[in-house]
Structure formats: C-alpha cells, structure tokens
Structure 1
Amino acid sequence: MRKSPFTKSSRLSFRAGLFSAIGVGGVSMGLSYFFFESSLENLLFFGLLLMILTFGIVYAITYRMLIRRMETLNRINRNIARKRFEDYDNLSTGGHDELDYLIKQTIRASKTVEREIQRLNRIENYRKEFIGDISHELKTPIFAIQGFIETLLNGAIDDEEVNRRFLKKAMRNVNRLILLTKDLMEISKLETGELKSEVQSIYLHNVISDVVDNLQYKAQKENVTLEMGAFNENTLVRADRNQIKQVLINLVENAIKYNVAGGSVTVSAQPFSNDPGKMLVSVKDTGIGIDQQYIERVTERFFRIDKSRSREKGGTGLGLAIVKHIMEAHGEEFFIDSAPNEGSTFSFTLTKAEVEQTRPPVDSVG
C-alpha cells in the first residue's frame, strides 16, 4: 500500500524552512563578521540560533498555510482516480493565491470528468440496449424465414397451396428486414449529421395532400377514414420537403396502424398559437391511444407499448424516433397528446416562409 505524502510533517514546509534558515543564517553571519567584528564562536552561536528560529517560524507558517489545502487537493485527485466524486460546492480553501486557484481548477476538472463518465455510461447502456433490441428485431424474421424454408424443404414444397402460402410469409419477413435496414440507415445518418436538411420554401398544402392521397389505400384496407383538414393552400413554410413528407408518412401510418375499425385520421395545419411565425401540423386519430407513462418513451428506438400488435402490423419501432430526429434537425418542436381509448394527436411546428417574388417555391407546380 502506497504511503500518503501528507502526514504530521510536511516535506514542502521542511524544505522552505531549511532553505530560508540557511539563507538568513548565512547572511547574518556575514554581516556580523564584516560590521561587528565578532569572534568566530559568537558568529557560529548566533548564526545557528538565528537559523533554528528562522526554520521554526517559516516551517510553522508554511505548514499552517499549505498542509490543509494540499490535503484537500490530494483528496480531490484521489477521488478522481477512483472515480468517486463529492460535492465540493461548499468547500472553503481559505486562501487567495496560486494554490487556491489550482484547487478550484481541480474541482472544475473533477466535475468535467464526472459528467464525461456519466455520459459514457449512458452511451454504454444505450449501446447494450440497442444491440439487444436490434438482435431481437433481426432474429425474429430471420428465424421465421428459416422455419418456412425448412418446412418447404421437408416436403411441403410439393404442395402448391402450402408452398405458396409459406413463400408469401417468408417474403413478408424479408420485406420487414428491408424496412428495418432502411430505417436503421436513415436514423443513423440523422444522428451522425450525415443526412443534411435541404431547407427551402415549400407549399405545405401540397405536401400534406400528397401523403394523404398516397396512404388512402392503407386506410381503406384497415377500414379507417383518412382525411385532410381545410387550410390556406398558399401557406409557405421553410423545410426539407422529402424529410417533412417522411415525417407525415410515419405519423399517418402509425395513426392508421393503431386505430380501430371505423375510426378516422385527420391531417391538418393551422397557425401556431404560441408563435405567429409558425404553423402547427397535426395528425389526429381516434385509435387506441397511449398511456401518459409511455408518452415520453414512444420516440425511443424500438420502444413499443404493444409489441405483438406492432410486429403483427409490420412496424420496425423506429418511425417516431426518425420523426423526432428530423424535427430536431429542423430546429422545430414535436408534441404528443394522447389518452387510452380516446385517440392521439401528434403535432409539429414549421416556420412560415415569406413569399419570394423572384424565385417560386420548389413545389409550386403540381
């Protein structure tokens, strides 16, 4: 076990006292010899006495000034090395010198190291959770495909009705893997900043109308009414058209997927009450809703409230995470308002754009 350098004596104080004593003693003996013509015995006696007094005084003063603060500095550094962090906010060093400054800098360094360790721990926990989730998400369709193929190879391939049904199921799982890979690549690009937002002036009505028209077949298949609320067709916003379209597709598909037979989904836009310079785009459904305890987590990767229903409907668990990242990249806000068995409303803001006379918006035609 390594011995602590801070004991009842102080090497630093000892050296300061020793060097001071030698200096003072030497100077005093020299002055006495030249000016007072003292005998050698008297010179040595008074010089030695002065050296002892000087050593004692300097040692006591430096020890009192330094030892407590040096112990504090050592304790902070030892805690950093052991990854143990204390609250130093009320720590009083009792000095206003270089050592006091060094202690304060060390405390700041300790807090920085603590925050960094916490951040790395969160990343490590997130990585472990992500690896577990992605392994499960990949394993489920792969094992399903393997099972269908093995069944076919064991003789079911000769039955045309059975092999066709199994091949359709295998293809459905292949499509699920393709969607999962696509969503993973997209969210990875969003998180790393590789996917940049090409913000331009776009007609919001055109984007919403395209999404509603393209997803009508899905709504009809689930016996859900999909409609678009009325608002000014000439409303211009500043956004990346493709990314906002992806946001709307993800939200509308979820609203259809987690709806009830005979339910409805309404996509609308209106001026944002908290900021007249923004529009609030909303996707409202009459579906199963979300319990309050889960609302903050639904934008996490792979988080599902009802996992069996999500897999049955073909979801990857990444849709809302992608929505969140796109809105953050745009510097906009994203809201979720929901209640069980009453439906949900997913909303996000978009900044209005001034009409440019010299250059038409990118989607002004068609």
Structure 2
Amino acid sequence: MSPHSVRMRFLLAGGLLTAVMAVCGAWSVVTFTRLSAVIGETLRDNQDKIDRTAALASGLEREDDALLLALTGNASRAQTEWEEARHRFEAHFSQLQAVLTADDEQAACADLRRHVDAYHHAGDALLAAREPTAAREIYHERVNPALREAVADCGRLRELSFRAMRQAGQEADKQAHRASQIWAVLALAALVCTALVTVRLAKTVLADVAAFARLNELRSELVAVASHELKTPLTSLRMNLLLLRERADNLTAQQSEILAAAVDAVEELAGTIDELLDLTRIEAGQLRLQREQVDLAVVIEQAVRSLRPRFEDATVHLRIVHEVPTAVVRGDAARLRIVLANLLDNALKYTPAGGEVQVCLTSSQDTPPRLRMSVTDTGPGVPVEFRERIFEKFFRVEHHQESDANGVRGAGIGLYLCRQIIEAHGGSIHCEANEDGRGTRFVIDLGFG
C-alpha cells in the first residue's frame, strides 16, 4: 500500500467520524431546539393562566373593599366601585375561561363560577339592605363565606398551573436524558466504527513498515556483501590498469585515451565502493574515529592535491582561502579528508567549464567560536526544498526533477556519509545558496582542537 493510499484511508476514516459526529450533533441541536420550544410554550401558557388567576383574586379583593365601604355608610360610592370591580372581574374571568383546556382546570373554573355568583348575589343583597345591622349580618353570613370559597378556587386554579409547569419540566428532563442517551449511543457507535477502521489501517501500515524495514535490511546486507565481494577484483583490475599505464609508451593516442578513461572509471568505482563500505559500517554502528590533533589546512592541501588534475582537465578554477591563523581540530584526519574530497568532487561535477570552486577556512560568530570550512561552486545550485533532503541516504535531486540536465552520475551516498562523519565529530554541515544567489555552498562547523 502506497503512503498516499494510507493517507487517503486515514483521511476517509477521520472524515467518516467527523460526518457521523456532525449528524449526531445536528440531531441533538434539532431535538433540544424542538424540546425547548415545546417547553417554552407550555411555560408561557401556564404563566398566563397564573397571571389571569391572580387578576381574578385581585378583582375579588377590590369588590370586597367596595362592600366594606358600604358598611361604613358610604353606600353611593360603594355601589359605583362594586359595579366597576364586578365588570373588570367578569372580563378577566372570560379571558381565563378561554385558555383553560384541561378537565381539572375547567372543573375548578366551574366551582369558581358558582362561588363567585353566590358572592355577587350576597353582595347585591348587602348593598340593598337599608339597616346597617342587616348589612353586617349579610356580610358575615353570606358574603364572607362565598368570598373565601371563591379565593380558594382561585388558589386551586393557580396550583393546577404550577403543577402543569412542574410536569412539563419533568417531561423535558426525561426527553433530554433520552436524547442524551441516544446521542451517546450514536457517538459511541461512530467511535467504534472509526476505531475498527483505524486499527485495520494501522495493521496495514505496520505490516508495510515491517516489510519496508526487512527490505531495507536486505538492501543493507546486499550492499555490504556486494561491496566486499567487488573490492578484491576491483583492486586487482586497478593495479593492472595502473601497471599498463606505466608501460604505455608504445600505445597510440586513441589507446592511451581509452586507457585513461578506464583508469578514471575504476577510480570512480573504487570511490563508490569505499562509500558503500563506510555506509555499512555506519549502519552497523562500527564507524570508529581515530581522534588526534588535525590541521584542516593540511587536510585541504592533501585533498586538493589528489583532485587538482581533474579540475585542470575540466578547466574549473580551484581557489583556497585561509582567514584564520590556526585551523587545528581534534578528529580523524582520514575521515575529514574523505568529507572534503566528496564535497570537492560534487562541486567539480556540477560546475561548468570556466567556473570556479572555492575552499575557505574561517571562524564562525558563535560563542565560543567554531572553525568553519566551506566549499562553494558556481554550478546550477540546489533548490531550496531539497537543501536538507540531499543529506538523506540514496537521495538525488535529479530523481525529483523532470530531466537530468547535468547528466551527473551518483548513488546518493556521499553527502549522507559527510553528515554522519561530521556529526560524529560533534560538528554540523548544511547547504545554502552562494552570496550572489548562484551556485551552492556547503558549510561545515567544527570545534577548535
């Protein structure tokens, strides 16, 4: 399974979980919104009934005030207020009666109507009485008992409304709890399904990783075996070619050119095999450094001496710049020479004829300062997105471009080995663009010895 396919499947699993959770969330929002609307309407209706019942009780109190006013001897004013209070009471009663729907509410309303009618008849009789004594007798025997019954009926109506509100709240709580349970079940089901998909994908990925690890192990074993097996015959071939070149006085110009090309090819192949052997040692943890005081100026001189003929043949100018009085580090001279030779070889491959390669020794601005060695060329440069990846094993920029315009061959091992060796020395190496934006600069920082 390709990484893209694995990524897509994980995205689909995540999308499935997100979609199911979104559906659950939307369902919950709709359910709770509808529930809230129903409960809100119930609460408003019952609150309206409570307010109207309170208005009835208040109206009865105003009627009673009018009757008490009549007992004090102000019959004319009492009659006026009594009629006004009764008119308002009847209006409120009609409004309340119109909104009552439950059977127990209508029964309580009928009782209220009966007691209010008795109260009104008694009140009319009180206002019609001519003697104060008779009026007081009517109030205590007929008016007051009927008033208490009517007020009690108002209280029962109000209690019925409060009970309906409590029942609505309890029902809302039950429905909310049921909705929460359903949402939890749906969410759990979504999580389980997604977990199953994820586990299956994870198993597939782990199987692919294990297969890749085994493949990488086999490749490393093949590289190690092939390198060792090729080393002996290549050494014999190289010695014979060098011996033939020493006795090439009688060869024609074409034969000499063919022999020189063969020697160069053998030298290049020998370098590649040495890199492969170093690679196997690094991966096996067997890279050992012979640490000693090393003068990098001497390392540069030795590396340049072996490569200068190739630079001259390619008409590429090689310039050495020293900007520090001493360039001594503690490290493995042979390994550091391999690093520098590798960087110079790369610079030569990518620098066109007439170009320049510069090796510079200076100190960094760090605290404490570090010795800095850089190799700069005037080649095509390394794209920004590949300046870190070129230090990966077997990575080549040409494999990620449409065409290999430079025709440069390589296995993608050299820069990987360079970083491993430099980091084993406690240093660092990175790639950057030249100051004028052209070419490439490889910068190595090492601690002073």
TM-score, reference length from structure 1 = 0.51
Q: Which of the two has greater helix per residue?
A: 2
Unaligned runs of 5+ in 2: 1-187, 225-251, 399-403
Tell me which residue corresponds to 1:323.
418
1:282 equivalent among 338, 351, 374 = 374
Does residue 257 of the first structure (1) align with residue 349 of the second (2)? yes
1:237 equivalent among 325, 329, 343 = 329
C-alpha displacement of 1:292: 1.5
Quote the Cα distance in structure 2 between the aligned partners of 1:83 and 1:323: 40
Between 284-293 and 115-124, the greater mean CA deviation after superposition = 115-124
CA deviation profile, 1:113-141 (whole Å, cap 9, x unmatched): 9998786466357568889999xxxxxxx
Find the residue that maps to 1:298 and give its secondary structure. Answer: helix
Distance 1:304 1:176, change over 3 A: farther
Native 8 Å contact 2:378 2:438 kept in 1: yes
Distance 1:230 1:295, change over 3 A: same
1:343 equivalent among 434, 439, 442 = 439
CA deviation profile, 1:260-302 (whole Å, cap 9, x unmatched): 2211111112222234242111111111211112222222325
C-alpha displacement of 1:237: 1.2
Find the residue that maps to 2:340 and give its secondary structure. Answer: helix
Quote the Cα distance in structure 1 between the aligned partners of 2:302 and 2:439: 24
Does residue 123 of the first structure (1) align with residue 123 of the second (2)? no
C-alpha displacement of 1:173: 4.9
Distance 1:331 1:115, change over 3 A: farther
Does residue 332 of the first structure (1) align with residue 424 of the second (2)? no
Tell me which residue corresponds to 1:199.
291
Quote the Cα distance in structure 2 between the aligned partners of 1:239 and 1:324: 14
Tell me which residue corresponds to 1:179.
271
Find the residue that maps to 2:319 and give its secondary structure. Answer: strand
Q: For 1:33-72, what aligned pairs fall within 5 Å after superposition?
A: none
Native 8 Å contact 2:350 2:406 kept in 1: no
Does residue 295 of the first structure (1) align with residue 387 of the second (2)? yes
C-alpha displacement of 1:84: 5.3
Quote the Cα distance in structure 1 between the aligned partners of 2:204 and 2:387: 30
C-alpha displacement of 1:210: 2.3
Find the residue that maps to 1:310 and give its secondary structure. Answer: coil
Native 8 Å contact 2:388 2:430 kept in 1: no
Quote the Cα distance in structure 1 between the aligned partners of 2:204 and 2:428: 31
Find the residue that maps to 1:309 and give its secondary structure. Answer: coil
The residue type paired with residue 303 of structure 1 is R
Native 8 Å contact 1:256 1:265 kept in 2: yes
C-alpha displacement of 1:316: 4.1
The residue type paired with residue 310 of structure 1 is V
C-alpha displacement of 1:161: 9.1
Find the residue that maps to 2:322 and give its secondary structure. Answer: coil
* Aligned residues between the structures: 230
Tell me which residue corresponds to 1:246.
338
Quote the Cα distance in structure 2 between the aligned partners of 1:172 and 1:207: 23
Tell me which residue corresponds to 1:143.
none
Distance 1:242 1:125, change over 3 A: same
Native 8 Å contact 1:282 1:347 kept in 2: yes
Native 8 Å contact 2:223 2:276 kept in 1: no
Tell me which residue corresponds to 1:362.
none
C-alpha displacement of 1:245: 0.9
Native 8 Å contact 1:212 1:228 kept in 2: no
Distance 1:218 1:166, change over 3 A: closer
CA deviation profile, 1:222-250 (whole Å, cap 9, x unmatched): 11111111223433212111111111111
Unaligned runs of 5+ in 1: 1-70, 86-112, 135-159, 354-366
Quote the Cα distance in structure 2 between the aligned partners of 1:328 and 1:116: 31
C-alpha displacement of 1:335: 0.9
Distance 1:242 1:178, change over 3 A: closer
Quote the Cα distance in structure 2 between the aligned partners of 1:307 and 1:177: 22
Find the residue that maps to 2:389 and give its secondary structure. Answer: coil
1:309 equivalent among 395, 400, 407 = 407
Quote the Cα distance in structure 1 between the aligned partners of 2:281 and 2:264: 26
Native 8 Å contact 2:223 2:280 kept in 1: no
The residue type paired with residue 213 of structure 1 is R
Identity across the alignment (%)? 25
2:448 equivalent among 346, 352, 366 = 352
1:222 equivalent among 301, 306, 314 = 314
Quote the Cα distance in structure 1 between the aligned partners of 2:348 and 2:264: 19
The residue type paired with residue 212 of structure 1 is V
Find the residue that maps to 1:293 and give its secondary structure. Answer: helix
Does residue 272 of the first structure (1) align with residue 272 of the second (2)? no
The residue type paired with residue 187 of structure 1 is L
